[in-house]
Amino acid sequence: MRLSWIAIVRLGLVQMCLGAIVVLTTSTLNRLMVVELALPAVLPGLLVALHYGIQITRPNWGFLSDTGGNRTRWIIRGMAALALGAMLAAYGVAVMEAQFAFGLLLSVVAYALIGLGVGASGTSLLALLATATAPARRAAAATITWLMMIAGIAVTAGVVGAQLDPYSVGLLLKIVAVVTGGAFLLTCLAVWGIEARVEAAPVATPMPFREGLAEVWAERKARNFTLFVFLSMTAYFMQELILEPYAGLVFGFTPGQSTSLSGAQNGGVFLGMVLVGIMCTGFKLGSLRAWVIGGCIGSAAMLVGLTLMGQIGVGAPLMPAVVGLGFFNGVFAVAAIGSMMALAGQGREAREGTRMGLWGAAQALAAGFGGLLGAALVDVMRAAVMGTDATAFGTVFLIEAALFVAAAYMALRVMERPAVPNGSLVPGE
């Protein structure tokens, strides 16, 4: 048996839980450190970079699930580590107000746990999807699960933003406890019994991890796609840590308003993903390659718009521009994800987890590098360049726009023209 549509949606709930927890640490806590605690943006940038850097272990988790024959246990264990790490991260922010050094130490431990949790749970989940989903459903499964993850991010950011005003430490801890506890319980219920009811996937022959990873890296498609993922995701994540501080410092947004802004952005991502899914699978319009390029160019254009709005300041239509950025991000992301899910099953058997881990590690490293680069550049611009906050942030947005253009060019050269048989999102051979 392969995964039914209901089972795919159930696994999508796990992705939704992952997104719901992670958005608290990358958006809400980041904003509180920069604006409410008046800390340099590079500090939360380093913490988020740590959680992404820890995810370099993703190939190990994927390889373990390939050879162990039980991906469910890694999904649950990873979610438990993620929930614990997010709760500890919120407590660390609370402690920083009175005891900065101790709060920072707690935060370092917390973000390391978050990285381990996302790596173990997310990689094992994607590997289960890749191996247990019928080939014709893989791209659709990727779209469904990522839409659910974006929905979890958008809903969590919006609800938390509405509930967090007026801000207090006690309210923050209460909200994070509800989100993390609920996400863990929902994950356990969602994955219960699914893996046991599907056809057993081939189990990789026991061998040293390095040999297994070398086999995958020797595959030209896997290697080229890894390089593309790193460049494009660096561009994708550069604004992650600076958009909410930008809204607060330049446009006067409150913590709740800026958190809601993040939710609106992810709502735009959701709409972009839905559009590509409908147009590509329903109407058979466009190829993955074309949608990736279009998403990158559109994202670059919206970043230029955000830069120009900073010169207007309070009263500028920031929300629509952020939704537009999210929309084109979603267009790019779902096309890239469709390729990733389909390519995971191509090549040597019983290496789906290792491939997903390799691409996940590239994405995580790019996300950490991109987020840290954006935050560090903002700090440098604000300190060393004469001008306003709007000029400093806008310069970084323009750099990010240039990277998106470079990613579009790389997609043009690296991604082959994909076929779209039976309306499925699949990459070309």
Q: Is the pLDDT of residue 154 over 70?
A: yes
CA dist., res. 93 & res. 31, Å (int): 11
Q: What is the pLDDT of residue 352?
A: 72
Q: How confident is the model at residue 191 (pLDDT cuts 50, 70, 90)?
A: very high
Q: How confident is the model at residue 422 (pLDDT cuts 50, 70, 90)?
A: very low
Inter-residue contact 49 to 107 (CB < 8 Å)? no
Beta-carbon count within 10 A of 68 CB: 14
Q: What is the pLDDT of residue 206?
A: 61
Highest mean pLDDT among 7-21, 147-161, 368-382 belongs to 7-21
Q: How confident is the model at residue 423 (pLDDT cuts 50, 70, 90)?
A: very low
Inter-residue contact 150 to 60 (CB < 8 Å)? no
Give the pTM.
0.74
3-state SS of the chain: helix, strand, coil percent to 5?
Answer: 80, 0, 20
Q: Is the pLDDT of residue 421 over 60?
A: no
Q: How confident is the model at residue 426 (pLDDT cuts 50, 70, 90)?
A: very low
Mean pLDDT of 96-119: 93
Q: Write out pLDDT tens, residues 39-78.
A: 887 788 889 888 888 988 888 888 887 776 678 989 999 9
CA dist., res. 41 & res. 374, Å (int): 9
Q: What is the pLDDT of residue 427?
A: 40
Q: Write out pLDDT tens, residues 328-374.
A: 999 998 888 877 776 776 666 666 778 888 888 888 888 878 888 99
Q: Of 334 and 88, which is predicted with more confidence?
A: 88
Mean pLDDT of the chain: 84
Highest mean pLDDT among 115-129, 260-274, 296-310 belongs to 296-310
Q: Six-digit token pair at 212?
A: 């297994």
Q: What is the pLDDT of residue 153?
A: 83
User: Which helix (H) or strand (E) covers residue 36, if one does?
Assistant: none
Burial, 211: exposed, middle or buried (Cβ in 10 Å; 0-12, 13-18, 19+)? exposed
Q: How confident is the model at residue 296 (pLDDT cuts 50, 70, 90)?
A: very high
CATH, range 5-423? 1.20.1250.20
Q: How confident is the model at residue 110 (pLDDT cuts 50, 70, 90)?
A: very high
Highest mean pLDDT among 13-22, 252-261, 348-357 belongs to 13-22
Q: How confident is the model at residue 425 (pLDDT cuts 50, 70, 90)?
A: very low
Q: What is the pLDDT of residue 417?
A: 62
* Cβ-based neighbours of 244, under 8 Å, separated by 6 or more: 27, 30, 31, 34, 35, 253, 258, 259, 261, 262
